[in-house]
Amino acid sequence: MSIVDRFLKYVSFCTTSDENTGMTPSTPGQMEFARYLADELRTIGLKDVTLDNNGYIMATLPANEDGHPVVGFIAHMDTSPDASGKHVKASIVKAEERDYIDACYAGQDVIVTDTTTLLGADDKAGIAEIVTAMEYLIQHPEIKHGKVRVGFTPDEEIGQGADHFDVKAFGADFAYTMDGGAIGELEFENFNAAACKIKVHGLNVHPGYGYHKMVNSMRIAYQLAVMLPRWETPEHTQGYEGFYHLAGMNGTVEETTLSYIIRDHDRARFESRKRELEHLARKVNCEFGEGTVEIEMRDQYYNMREKIEPVMHIINLAKEAMTAVGVTPVVKPIRGGTDGARLSFEGLPCPNIFAGGENFHSRYEYLPVNSLKAARDVILEITKKA
């Protein structure tokens, strides 16, 4: 099966994750896809294929030459809840046929949707690249390499992709997530990340008789929200700049919930941002009464840079592999996170390599075919050079 056909098959599975189910995987479509993948990995000839009850897949390409480290490649099966991933209608067009495709892809074949759903290149492109590279190596035993481990995870998009990943069982010396964006991206810095849920409690009475009685939780929630710095939001930040992102709001007079994500590359600024939200909650409680605002904060992942810097040879290996296949490495910080961030802190150094897609989490997501193939070739080169 060609890499394009494989990717198009993968996006036919609806694997949108959902942080509200309390299950792992969080949605049944992910387990359906996982079963398909596990069978496919066995069919192409990988060994030790396992699928656990939480939807984690691991498999082995045995070494055919001694003296190499064990390299891992990881991608995630779920797609973002930010846009529908159900009934994806994908097609291949020329870049010029869609005005949202960057001009740098002029003349290229690009995989798009009908813009009613996301595409799922994040991260089914990464899975297709890994599986196709492994199949190629199995079919070409003359290419010498060490042992390779493959891992596919659920629920990365809701920050839970590494929750049940067994680093010891995976057994790699280092790994790469194939979960980056445009061609050439190589990332070993990411945001420190936290999720914050704020509940605001009010009191509802007939609005005609609300004088000094009604407490409108929505108005209080709005007051709290506008106390945060206006310019420290995703739409006003770039590079290493952090932000507060109001990702969800749901409310009535009686109760309003605000869902925030907090991001910053610098750990000290990250901790300061969390303290600021807690400070604002206390200020609102001082005005409206203790218990009006409840705040729940949880860290999601941290900047992997401190874990990668001692093993920078794995970054150099990725750069060399990219250069060998004609791709210019673009080293940049991730304005997001990957499973690799948490895995790096669990003892598996795991930087991030491009999967090739653009406009992730959007109905205008797209995947240049050349980028898809280039990422596959980078995997092959890393395996050969490790």
Beta bridge partners of 245: 261
Measured distance CA(109)–CA(111) in Å, rounded: 7
All structural domains of the chain, each given as residue ranges with its CATH number in brackets, are: 3-190+303-385 (3.40.630.10), 192-300 (3.30.70.360)
The pLDDT value given to residue 194: 95
Catalytic site includes residue 156 = yes
The pLDDT value given to residue 159: 83
Q: Which of 135, 156, 358, 377 is catalytic?
A: 156
Measured distance CA(14)–CA(131) in Å, rounded: 19
Measured distance CA(69)–CA(384) in Å, rounded: 11
The pLDDT value given to residue 336: 81
163: preceding bond cis by omega (within 30 degrees)? no
Instruction: Spell out the per-residue pLDDT of the chain, length 386, in tens.
Output: 999 999 999 999 999 999 899 999 999 999 999 999 999 999 999 999 999 999 999 999 999 999 999 999 999 999 999 999 999 999 999 999 999 999 999 999 999 999 999 999 999 999 999 999 999 999 999 999 999 999 999 999 988 999 999 999 999 999 999 999 999 999 999 999 999 999 999 999 999 999 999 999 999 999 999 999 999 999 999 999 999 999 999 999 999 999 999 999 999 999 999 999 999 999 999 999 999 999 999 998 899 999 999 999 999 999 999 999 999 999 999 888 778 999 999 999 999 999 999 999 999 999 999 999 999 999 999 999 99
Q: Are 179 and 337 in contact (CB under 8 A)?
A: no
Q: Are 337 and 192 in contact (CB under 8 A)?
A: no
Measured distance CA(283)–CA(73) in Å, rounded: 47
Q: Which of 78, 135, 365, 381 is catalytic?
A: 78
Q: pTM to 2 decimals?
A: 0.87
Q: In what order do the strands lie in the sheet with 148-153?
A: 47-51, 57-61, 148-153, 71-76, 174-180, 352-354, 185-187, 330-331
Measured distance CA(370)–CA(347) in Å, rounded: 33
Helix axis angle, 3-10 relative to 121-139, nearest 10°? 140
